[in-house]
Amino acid sequence: MAPHIDDALLDDPDELLRKDSRQTLRALATAGAQVRESVSLAEEAGIDRLARLDRPRSVLVAALGGSALVAEVLELLAEPGSPVPVQARRNLPLPGWVGPLDLVVAVSLSGRAPGPVGIAAEAARRGASLLTVGADDSPLAEVCRRARGTHIGVGRGRTSSRTSLWSLLTPVLLGAHTLGLVDTPREQMRQVADRLDEAAEAYRPASESFVNPAKLLALQLAETVPMVLGDGPLSGVAAARASSMLARTARMPAPWGELPDAASQIVACFDGPYTARGGHRPGTYDAGRIRLGDIDTSGWEPHHFAEPEGDLAERPRGAGGRDIFADPFLDGPSLPQLGLLTLRDAAPEPPTRESVEVEALTDAVLATAREAGVRVMDVSAQPGRPLTRLAELVTTVDFTATYLALGLGLDPAVSPHVADLNDRTR
């Protein structure tokens, strides 16, 4: 059965804030402010000094956990025009080719994550240039200072990398822009901040669910076993973020994919046990029929049987092919419905051949999903520069996952099992 979500709680801002022990919603709402503060902190830290360096042979970004999206975004934005390769790394060992001609970017909110700190230390030992982002009073900052690199702090009040994304990402993008790897000048970062502010206003706790897209999406996702699909590279990064946030914040596993490669992988799931027309699952019947000979009827009384036509009994179905007369005691509890959350990038103007093909493939996947009884949810970015479009999709899924957690009675910031795991691995 699908989990119960308390829709009344989602429309009670006082109760939302009370259950949100570490003010996750409020932290997400500061995304625009994080961008502006990080621009100032980067300037104060001397980010422009990077312009005096020779262009690096390559850039390696070390980030993990909630910070991993920083590397994915830089890879995404650098790929079309960067004159040097950009690669992501989560942990040691540092690749053997990294040396004095390369730049290593290490990101950790606390400045204590073993992977980024270890990579930064090894890169410094080999003479590579360093750009680090994290707490000022931390091992990561110390490694960077000893190597005469550039360290940028994250400001005060940042307690979770999941809610401090823009404090971590902004300095990295400014540094990459200074080196000529991406086109993200300060003026564009301020436009991103404005878009994030608009989203925070639309998704605020006081906004009722019927006009709040994040709350509405949370209510829809709660009734499904969700999958997330991006329609291209940019929305694919957002889909990976959605999968991570749904798992870590809402405790709901959600596999993700990116078109065109993931089309078959996603569509194959429509044949599985979570769709009424696919698989053999409790509470549903193949093609609307059940063969009485396939069921153990020992101990049943005659009144348990409907009057079949021969050995087949037709069962009425509701929306999505569900059996509206399924008995949870005889048929077993019904499984939740498969859900497909599609994140779509804004179409370019004028359309290109590639964008037309992507749109046609996406529409074909959604049509197949609806025919199979999958619940389809569609989120599209508004036109704008790539980083602005990505920011809109990311903040939507961040707020959605948080509202979903709260509606399910979960604290979005505190997981007892994660705490147990940390205790057992210390």
Domain boundaries, given as residue ranges, for the chain: 7-16+197-272+336-413, 22-192
pLDDT at 277: 63
Of the chain, the end-to-end C-alpha distance in Å amounts to 37
Q: Is the pLDDT of residue 286 over 80?
A: no
Would you say 48 and 174 are in contact if contact means Cβ atoms under 8 Å apart? no
Which residue, 150, 132, 135, is CA-closest to 61? 132
Token representation of residue 323: 């059996």
7-16+197-272+336-413: which CATH topology?
Rossmann fold (3.40.50)
Would you say 60 and 50 are in contact if contact means Cβ atoms under 8 Å apart? no
pLDDT at 65: 87
Q: Which residues contact 374 (CB under 8 A, 6 or more apart)?
A: 270, 275, 320, 337, 338, 339, 340
In the DSSP assignment, the letter for residue 409 is T
Mean pLDDT along residues 244-261: 95
Q: Is the pLDDT of residue 312 over 60?
A: no
Mean pLDDT along residues 262-289: 69
Cite the DSSP H helix spans in 153-212: 165-178, 186-202
pTM of the model: 0.86
Q: How far apart are CA 20 and CA 271, in angstroms?
A: 38
Instruction: For residue range 377-401, list pLDDT tens digits in order.
Output: 999 999 999 999 999 999 999 999 9
Instruction: For residue range 200-250, list pLDDT tens digits in order.
Output: 999 999 999 999 999 999 999 999 999 999 999 999 999 999 999 999 999
Mean pLDDT along residues 33-43: 97
Q: How far apart are CA 214 and CA 361, in angstroms?
A: 26
Instruction: For residue range 159-207, list pLDDT tens digits in order.
Output: 899 999 999 999 999 999 999 999 999 999 999 999 999 999 999 999 9
pLDDT at 275: 84
Would you say 107 and 62 are in contact if contact means Cβ atoms under 8 Å apart? yes
> Do 22-192 and 7-16+197-272+336-413 fall under one CATH topology?
yes
Would you say 220 and 378 are in contact if contact means Cβ atoms under 8 Å apart? no
CATH dotted code for 22-192: 3.40.50.10490
Instruction: For residue range 104-148, list pLDDT tens digits in order.
Output: 999 999 999 999 999 999 999 999 999 999 999 999 999 999 999
DSSP string, 97-149: T--TT-EEEEEESSS--HHHHHHHHHHHHTT-EEEEEE-SSSHHHHHHHHTT-
pLDDT at 205: 95
Instruction: For residue range 322-381, list pLDDT tens digits in order.
Output: 555 555 555 555 678 999 999 999 998 888 999 999 999 999 999 999 999 999 999 999
Token representation of residue 160: 């979770």
